[in-house]
Amino acid sequence: MGGLVSSLAFPVPKLPQSFYHDLLKRRDLVWLETKRGERIPAIHIQAPLRRRRNVTLLFSHGNAEDIALHLPFVTALAHRTGADVLSYEYVGYGPSRFKDCVPSEKGCYRAIDAAWDYLVNHGVEPSSIVIYGRSIGTGPSVDLASRVEAKGLILQSPIDSAIRCALGYGSSLALRPIDIFVNYEKMSKVSCRVFIMHGTDDDVVPLRCGRALQKLAQHPVDPAWIPGYGHNDIPHDTVFHHVGAFLDALAGGGGPSLRPGGLFSS
């Protein structure tokens, strides 16, 4: 049963190797190695110098996509927010799919650990790293944030767990042994400030998941419940605006919460 949950959780894009030709030629491509020796690609995008912040976003993408499919988004994210972006691939996704790697929850954790280690080992201070996950990418993001001292955590359309997202709270109690990405058990261990944005009409990951994590966070800022939008149609301009505002708030210091109806009102 646990294997079935895992297989349903990872609908890997089945793209031909030729699709990754341009990705593998990029100058900002780096190869990461997990603790099990799995090699995964990552893109380390530098923000334009004229507006560059002393911040790096460690980005974990959503499901049914891979690093090559979301390149336009993460490139625009760096240019629009002024933050450098390291976007890494999950084990068993993208080019690593052709190396007999199989996607799994633990593989995602190994991948984000390799990405964090790469940044720290290349001189990026943990206090300047903001962990950012979208959809299923909030699983490895929350897990990492619960174990390290990062500058902040951004969760876009987050799951509270795979079972709770799909079947609700009651089912998660009975099915806890096979649940994955159990964010609701880890949020209380996240010591940095947390910003959550979620479409109110999301029928893939219900808004209740984002609301549940907002209540569990130690240091939440005002969330952005974005009216009328679902899981995959929140305009990029809206996302960039909220991410930039959160980074501004982190740079300005202050308390862990912003006043209701303030910077992050939707």
- Give tens-digit pLDDT for 119-140: 999 999 999 999 999 999 999 9
Closest CA to 191 of 154, 229, 146, 155: 146
pLDDT higher than 90, residue 146: yes
How much is the average pLDDT of 215-220? 97
**259 pLDDT band (50/70/90 cuts)?**
very low
Whether 21 and 74 have beta carbons less than 8 Å apart is answered as no
Give the model's pLDDT for residue 102: 86
Closest CA to 64 of 20, 34, 88, 94: 94
Q: Which position has the token pair 């290349």?
A: 122
What are 148-169's pLDDT values in tens digits?
999 999 999 999 998 888 877 7
How much is the average pLDDT of 57-76? 95
Give the model's pLDDT for residue 7: 53
* Whether the model pTM is above 0.85: yes
Q: In whole angstroms, what is the distance from residue 122 CA to residue 148 CA?
A: 17
Q: What is the dihedral of CA 157, 248, 45, 18, to 10 degrees?
A: 20
| Phi-psi map region of 100: left, alpha, beta (phi>0 left; psi -120 to 50 alpha) | left
How much is the average pLDDT of 61-82? 95
Closest CA to 240 of 87, 85, 82, 81: 81
Question: N- to C-terminal Cα distance for the chain?
Answer: 40
What residues are annotated to the active site? 135, 202, 231
Q: Tell me the pLDDT of the chain averaged across its residues.
A: 90
Give the model's pLDDT for residue 177: 78
**201 pLDDT band (50/70/90 cuts)?**
very high
pLDDT higher than 50, residue 263: no
**266 pLDDT band (50/70/90 cuts)?**
very low
Q: In whole angstroms, what is the distance from residue 134 CA to residue 141 CA?
A: 9
Give the model's pLDDT for residue 217: 97
| Dihedral sign computed on CA atoms, order 81, 252, 255, 147 | positive
**70 pLDDT band (50/70/90 cuts)?**
very high
Give the number of other Cβ atoms within 10 Å of residue 154's Cβ: 26
pLDDT higher than 80, residue 2: no
What percent of the chain stands above pLDDT 70? 90
pLDDT higher than 60, residue 1: no
| Dihedral sign computed on CA atoms, order 71, 72, 73, 79 | positive
**36 pLDDT band (50/70/90 cuts)?**
very high
pLDDT, greater one: 38 or 175: 38
Chain centre to alpha carbon of residue 138: 5
pLDDT higher than 60, residue 100: yes
What percent of the chain stands above pLDDT 90? 77
